[in-house]
Structure 1
Amino acid sequence: MVKPTPNPPLFTVKVHQHTETLLVNASETLSSLNALTCNLAFDLDTSQHAFMLRIQQMAELGQLLVDRALEQVSRSPAT
């Protein structure tokens, strides 16, 4: 069976949001993901613990990248 239409997205982002606003929200989301995965990792057995910590490291890297972009946007003059 093939669905005639794809599933709609669960979340959307408003059009015409300021880049700084988007980056702040992305940073907060990644920070929450980082905390959740770190907490969950310590409730898992050894193999799952290591896997969850790898996910946590990817979230942390994403947050570092977003935070650096946010710094650059904040420093650039308004156009």
Structure 2
Amino acid sequence: MLKVTPNPPEADAIPESDPTSPYSTLDPTKLNDAAERALDHYLKPHAPPQRTPSTMFLVAPDMDTESLLAHACESMASASIMLSDFAAMLETPYRNTLLGIQQVVMLGELAVNRALDNLEPDLRQ
């Protein structure tokens, strides 16, 4: 009868330490450092690099809130009209996508308009 698994090596045939093995001497500090690096890699979130905004297009820091909201409202109204006009030139699946984007812009415009209406009276000039 043929045996499926081989016999284990003899106890005296196993070398005490293999001089070519990197694990011949197990240094607890190195093992701990390796374990810490592995855990840090998988468990600690990496902080994103600090982003510095571009100053090419800078809004003047002394602009009042009402002016900023009015400009944002006008920009969103223009974007809504441009999206609507462009959607009229497209076929159905693309038109529906563009009209969905146009609706989101329009809702943003309505929110900015409401913020303008809700401005405190002492902020208005």
Q: TM tier, shorter chain?
A: 0.7 to 0.9
TM-score by length of 1: 0.82
Unpaired runs of at least 5, structure 1: 1-5
2:68 maps to 1:22 = yes
Larger relative contact order (Cα-Cα within 8 Å, sequence gap ≥ 6): 1
Give the superposed CA RMSD: 1.8
Equivalent-residue separation in structure 1 for 2:83 and 2:104 (angstroms): 10
Q: 1:48 to 1:9 in 2, by over 3 A?
A: farther
Equivalent-residue separation in structure 1 for 2:58 and 2:103 (angstroms): 26
Equivalent-residue separation in structure 2 for 1:28 and 1:38 (angstroms): 15
> Any runs of at least 4 consecutive aligned residues in structure 1 with deviations exceeding 2 A, and if so which?
6-12
Alignment of 1:38-49 (within 5 A): 38-49=84-95
Instruction: State percent identity of aligned pairs.
Output: 33
The structure number with the bigger radius of gyration is 2
Unpaired runs of at least 5, structure 2: 1-51
- How many correspondences in the alignment? 72
